[in-house]
Structure 1
Amino acid sequence: MSADADLVAAFEAGRVAAGHDGFHHADHVRVAWTYLGRLPLLAAAETFVANLKRFAAAQGKPERYHETISLAYLLLIHDRIVTRGRGATWDDFAEANPDLLVWPSSILTRFYSQALLDSDLARANFLWPDLIPRAML
C-alpha cells in the first residue's frame, strides 16, 4: 500500500498512521489532496468532512473539528490542483504549494479575520471569507 493510501486508511479508521507522531496540518492537507485525486469536488468534500469528524471523535476531540477551516482548505487545494496541476506525487504537490502547509499562520489569514475563524458560527458552519469584498467572490 502507498504512503497516501496508508495515511487515508488510518485516518478513516480513526487512528494515527504508523510512523506518525500525530495527525498534523500537513496530514490534513495530504488526505484532502488524496480525496481530490480520487473523487469529484463535492464528493471529496463530503467524504473528507465525514471522516474528519469521525477521526476527531475517535481521538476524543470532537470539538476540534472546524467546518470553515476544513472546507476552505479543501477548496484551496482543489483550486491549486485545477490551476497548477496535481503533481505526480504528494511531494511534488507539497513542494509546489508550501503556503498550504504553513500552520498556524496559515494562508486563510489572507481571506478570514481571526475573529471570524475563532467564532462558534465558523466552527459549526462554512462561512465565506470576511476580508474579501463579496463582489470578489
Structure 2
Amino acid sequence: MPGDTATDALDDAAFLSAVETATWPGERFRHREHLRLAWLCLRAHGVEAGHARVPDLIQRYAAALGASGKYHETRTRAWVLLVGAGLAAAPAGETFGDFLGRCPELLEGSLLARHYREETLDSPRARAEWVPPDVAPLP
C-alpha cells in the first residue's frame, strides 16, 4: 500500500516524539496520523493504557498548538477502539503500512457513520465525553 511520505519519513519513535513534543506540524496531523498514534500507543501500552494515552496525547498536542477546541472525545475513543480491533488480529512484526494494508477501511473517514448517527457525533456532548454508538456496536 502506498504510504504517506510526510508521515512515513519518520520512524515510529521519531513520529511519536514529534507528537509528544508538539513539533509535528498541525496541518500534517490528519486522519492517518491519528491512526498511527493510536496504533503506536496500543501496541506499546496495551489496550487499557493505550486507550488512556491516545486521548491524553492528542489533547496535549492540540493545546500546545492552540487548538484545544478541535479535540473530540467520542471520535477519538471510537477510532482507538477500531484500531484496537484491527490490532487484535495483527501478526508479529507488522508495520503501520502493513496494518493499513490489512485494515484499509480504517482510512475511510466515513467509517464512524456505520456506528453513529451524524447528529450524535456532531453534538456538544459527544465532543466533550464518550457517547456509545447509536447505530451499531463498535468492535
Q: TM-score, normalised by structure 1?
A: 0.86
1:14 aligns with one of 17, 22, 33: 22
Paired AA for residue 8 in structure 1: L
> How far apart are the structure 2 equivalents of 1:99 and 1:59?
29
Residue 3 of structure 2: aligned partner: none
Residue 91 of structure 1: aligned partner: 97
2:13 counterpart of 1:5: yes
1:121 aligns with one of 114, 125, 128: 125
* Structure 2: runs of 5+ lacking an equivalent: 1-9
The alignment partner of 2:28 has SS state of: coil
Paired AA for residue 95 in structure 2: T
Residue 30 of structure 2: aligned partner: 24
Paired AA for residue 59 in structure 1: L
> How far apart are the structure 2 equivalents of 1:15 and 1:127?
31
Residue 68 of structure 1: aligned partner: 74
1:47 Cα deviation from its structure 2 partner: 1.1
1:45-60 alignment runs, 5 A limit: 45-60=51-66
The alignment partner of 1:39 has SS state of: helix
Paired AA for residue 75 in structure 2: I
Runs ≥4 in structure 1, deviation > 3 angstroms? none
1:77-96 C-alpha deviation (Å, 9 max, x unpaired): 111111x2156111100111
Paired AA for residue 64 in structure 1: K
Q: In 2 relative to 1, CA 125–3 (structure 1 residues): closer, same or farther, beyond 3 Å?
A: same
1:102 Cα deviation from its structure 2 partner: 2.0
Q: TM-score, normalised by structure 2?
A: 0.85
> How far apart are the structure 2 equivalents of 1:37 and 1:129?
24
Q: CA RMSD in A?
A: 2.0
Identity of aligned pairs, percent? 33
* Structure 1: runs of 5+ lacking an equivalent: none
